[in-house]
Structure 1
Amino acid sequence: MLADAGRRYRLCPTLGQAERLTSWGHTCRWLYNTALEQRQFAWQQRKATLGVTAQCVFLTEARKDFDWVADLPAQSGQQVLRQLDQAYRNWWNPQHPAGAPTRRRRSVRLSVPFPGQAVQVWRLNRPWGAVSLPKVGVVRFRWSRPLGGVVRNAVVSFDGVAWHVGFGVHAGIKTPEAHARPGAVVGVDRGVKVALAMSDGRMWDRSFTSAGQERELARLKSKAGRQETARRKRGAKTSNRARKVGAEIARTEAKIRNRRRDFVMWVANRLCAQHAAVKLERLDVKAMTATAKGTVAEPGINVRQKAGLNRAILDKGWGLFEAALANRARTTGTRIVKVPAAFTSQRCSRCGNTHRNNRDSQAVFRCGFCGHQANADVNAAINVRDAAEAASPHTGRAVRDRNRKRPVDHPPSVATTGTGNGNLPPLAWRLTCRPD
């Protein structure tokens, strides 16, 4: 049985449990990065593809050599290696949008994975549940919703504000053959001023930060920049004060992310419950938010303006909203339709005129041919609703595939199952100190 649904709860570990989970989180990050470097080294030197079986052998050797690696549960270390292996499989799959696996930065939230057979979950009372974790013991969590299935895996994570535990459960979700309202279709336009505008005239938006919070976050980031500049001049290690400032920035940004996630899931839930089909513009958000800096030889233009636009797009959570829609549509039978984005903001929804002067401003649309006047975002949403689905959608995948040096469907060329010998490095071949 595979996990087909997720459940996330607020975890409440004790101080000692939190310290140990933090240590394990850094160890998991080190293990992932080292295993990634090992696979890259094996391919560059011998054109050999290491699998999860061979790397588990190296993990066993590393557990003998380093006490802080042995302190991490063996099941968790194996789960990290399986995650890396799945990342490679996604990269090799031409139908999957994932790119090449990259290193996990220190700023990424801490997480410790566990297989389903290593944890036990039960309910204590109405507001509280408990989960038993290897080497940690029983940890309480807020029982905010029922599990609704069999636990297949668990991930304990820290997002900068609090600890959470996420369970992958097999709930037996089956997508309905038909929606409860088969004729309901809505078009959605994503914007930077108003997050989401619907073709029926509704407009949903939310501010994820207050003015005071924005000033405080800017002050903290400025202070962190000065501390980092001073540290580099002296050549010293990161001070405890700098770590505290970084932790405060992480807490503030985590609160903003939580508000954004709550908003997009709230909207996705209502759209999928009320409509049989939701139409969106086919947008490559990653390409749209790319930097305009350019190079030293060919510097970019309007770099600061483009950076402001990038921040506005990312703040509205365009990509997160699309993922939330796809996830919710599995339970309601809603079809998510992608349509070409060309001229949806310039075209008059009444007569079809696409003159560039139709947009009086960011919010006002006035057709120069028929005189139709409406909100610009709602007009664009109507165009999205009435547009036909593209026959051959273009994503950024094909472009990335053509630029790869390694074939997309490249199979493992060498089945490497032994321990480190020859040019194959052991798991801890480079990092021999405990990660911070």
Structure 2
Amino acid sequence: MKADAGRRYRLYPTEGQAERLTGWGHTCRWLYNTALEQRQFVWRQRKTTLGVTAQCAHLTEARKDFDWVADLPAQSGQQVLRNLDQAYRNWWNPQHPAGAPTCKRKSARLSVPFPGQAIEVRRLNRRWGVVSLPKVGEVKFRWSRRLGGAVRNAVVSFDGVAWHVGFGIHTGVTTPEAHARPDTVVGVDRGVKVALAMSDGRMWNRTFTTPGQERKLARLKSTAGRQETARRKHGATTSNRARKIRAQVARAEAKVRNRRRDFVMWAANRLCAQHAVVKIERLDIQAMTATAKGTNEKPGTKVRQKAGLNRAILDKGWGLFHTALDNKARTTGTRIARVPAAYTSLRCSRCRYTDRDNRESQAVFRCGSCGYEANADVNAAINVRDAAEVASPLTGRAVRDRNRKASCRPPTQRRPRTALETGVSRR
């Protein structure tokens, strides 16, 4: 039985448990990066693909040589290697939009995976439950919703604010053959001023920070930047005060991410429950949010304006909303249709006249031919609803990646350190 749903809960480890889980998170990151470099090194040297079975054997040897590797549960280390192998399979799959696996940064979220047979979940009362983890024991978590199925795996993670445990659940729920309201179609336009505008006139928007919180976060980032500049200038180690400032930045950013995730999940649930077909624009968000600074030889233009637009796009969670729609549609039978995005903001939804002058401002649309006037985002959503669906679900960047890697070879990056059995420190 495979996991077909996820459940995420707030975890409350003790101080000693949190310290050990933090060490395991760094070990898992080191293991993933080293295994990735090992596979790339073997391909460059021998033109062969190193499988997960051989890497698990290398992991066993590394556990004999290094105590900090042996402290990580063997099941978690093997799960990390299986995750890397799955990342390669996704990259090799022409129908999957994933790109080549990349190294995990030290600033990334700490996470420790566990297979289902290595853990045990037990409910204490209406509000609390415990999960039994190898070498750690029972850890309490907030029972905020029922599991609804059999636990197949778990991931313990730290996002800069708190610890969480996510369970992969087999619910047995299948996608309905038809939606409960089969004749309902809605177009959705994603914007930077208004997050979501629907073709029926509804507009959903939410701010994730107050002006005071934005000023505080900007001040913390400025302080962290000055500290890092001074540290590099003098060749010093990171001070305790600098670590505290970084922790404050991480906590503030994690709160914003949680509010954004809550909004997009809320919107996706309602759209999929109310409509059989949801049409959205097919956008290459990664290319849209690329920097415009250029190079020293050919510097870009309007770099600050482009950076502001990039932040506005990322703040609204366009890509996260797309993922939330796909996940929710599996349980409601909703079909997510992707349509071409060209000229949806400039075309009149009534007479189809297209002209740049139709868009008078960010909020006002007035047709120069028939005089139709409406909210610009709602007019674009109507055009999205009436547009024809495109055939390929892949984004433009993913299609270019597929064309470039004809032989499915790993990307050529910097020379790896060595194989798993080397004594490279995880710090």
What does residue 76 of structure 1 align with? 76
* 1:6 equivalent in structure 2: 6
Q: Using the alignment, how far apart are the partners of 2:222 and 2:85 within structure 1? A: 39
Partners of 2:274 and 2:43 lie apart in 1 by 50
* Matching residue of 1:402: 403
For 1:353 and 1:392, locate their aligned partners in 2 and report how far apart those are by CA, in whole Å: 27
Corresponding residue for residue 413 of structure 2 = none
Q: Which runs of 5+ in 1 are unaligned?
A: 412-422
Q: Secondary structure at the match of 1:132?
A: strand
> Within 2, Cα distance between the matches of 1:395 and 1:263?
24
Corresponding letter in the other structure for 2:80 = V
* Partners of 1:325 and 1:336 within 8 A in 2: yes
Q: How far did 1:241 drift?
A: 1.1
* 1:99 to 1:393, Cα distance in 2 relative to 1, 3 A: closer
SS in 2 for 1:174: coil
Residue deviations 1:48-79 (CA, integer Å, cap 9, x gap)? 21111111111111111110110000000000
TM-superposed CA distance for 1:400, in Å, is 1.3
Secondary structure at 2:156's aligned position in 1?
strand
- Counterpart in the other structure of 1:106: 106
Alpha-carbon RMSD across the aligned residues, in angstroms, is 1.5
Name the amino acid aligned to 1:178: A
Residue 392 of structure 1 deviates from its aligned partner by 5.0
For 1:49 and 1:424, the matched residues in 2 are separated by 18
CA deviations 1:189-239 (Å, max 9, x no partner) are 000000000111100000001101100110011001100110001111111
SS of residue paired to 2:100: coil
Q: Where does 1:13-412 land on structure 2 (aligned, <5 Å)?
A: 13-392=13-392, 395-396=395-396, 397-404=398-405, 407-408=407-408
Inter-partner Cα distance in structure 1 for 2:332 and 2:91:
30
Q: Percent identity?
A: 78
Q: TM-score, normalised by structure 1?
A: 0.94
Distance 1:398 1:319 in 2: 17
Distance 1:65 1:426, change over 3 A: same
Once the two structures are superposed, residues 326-349 of structure 1 have per-residue CA deviations (whole angstroms, 9 ceiling, x without a partner) of 111111111101111111000011
Q: CA deviation at 1:293?
A: 1.6
Structure 2 counterpart of 1:429, from 407, 422, 427: 422
Q: Distance in 1 between matches of 2:158 and 2:28?
A: 13
Deviations 1:363-413 (A, max 9, x none): 000001111100000000011111111245663222112223x613x69xx
Give deviations 1:9-58, integer Å, cap 9, x for gaps.
00011111011000100110011111111111111111121111111111
For 1:264, what is the secondary structure of its paired residue? Answer: helix
- Give the letter for the 2:41 counterpart: F
**In 2, Cα distance between equivalents of 1:51 and 1:236:** 41
Query: Is the CA contact (8 Å cut-off) linking 2:37 and 2:417 kept in structure 1?
Result: no
Q: 2:161, 2:254 within 8 Å by CA — same for their partners in 1?
A: yes
Q: In structure 2, how many angstroms separate the alpha carbons of the residues matched to 1:242 and 1:259?
A: 26
| SS of residue in 2 equivalent to 1:168 | strand
Task: Name the SS of the counterpart of 1:322 in structure 2.
Answer: helix
Contact 1:185 1:277 (C-alpha < 8 Å) held by counterparts: yes
Whichever residue aligns with residue 286 of structure 1, its letter is Q
- The one-letter code of the counterpart of 1:51 is G
Q: In the alignment, residue 429 of structure 1 is paired with which amino acid?
A: T
Q: Secondary structure at the match of 1:107?
A: coil
Per-residue CA deviations over 1:103-159 (Å, capped at 9, x if unaligned) read 100111100000000000011000011110000000111111111111110000001
2:11 touches 2:165 (CA, 8 Å); kept in 1? yes
Which amino acid in structure 2 is aligned with residue 126 of structure 1?
Answer: R
Q: What does the per-residue CA deviation read over 1:269-295, in whole Å, with 9 as the maximum and x for residues that have no partner?
A: 111111111010111111111111212
For the residues of structure 2 that align with 1:428 and 1:308, how far apart are their CA atoms? 45
Q: Deviations over 1:269-323 (max 9, x none)?
A: 1111111110101111111111112122221111111111100000000000010
Partner of 1:419: none
Alpha-carbon contact 1:42-1:424 (below 8 Å) kept = no
SS in 1 for 2:168: strand
Distance 2:421 2:32 in 1: 11
Is the 1:279–1:338 contact (alpha carbons within 8 Å) kept by the matching residues of 2? yes
Contact 2:37 2:418 in 1 (8 A): no
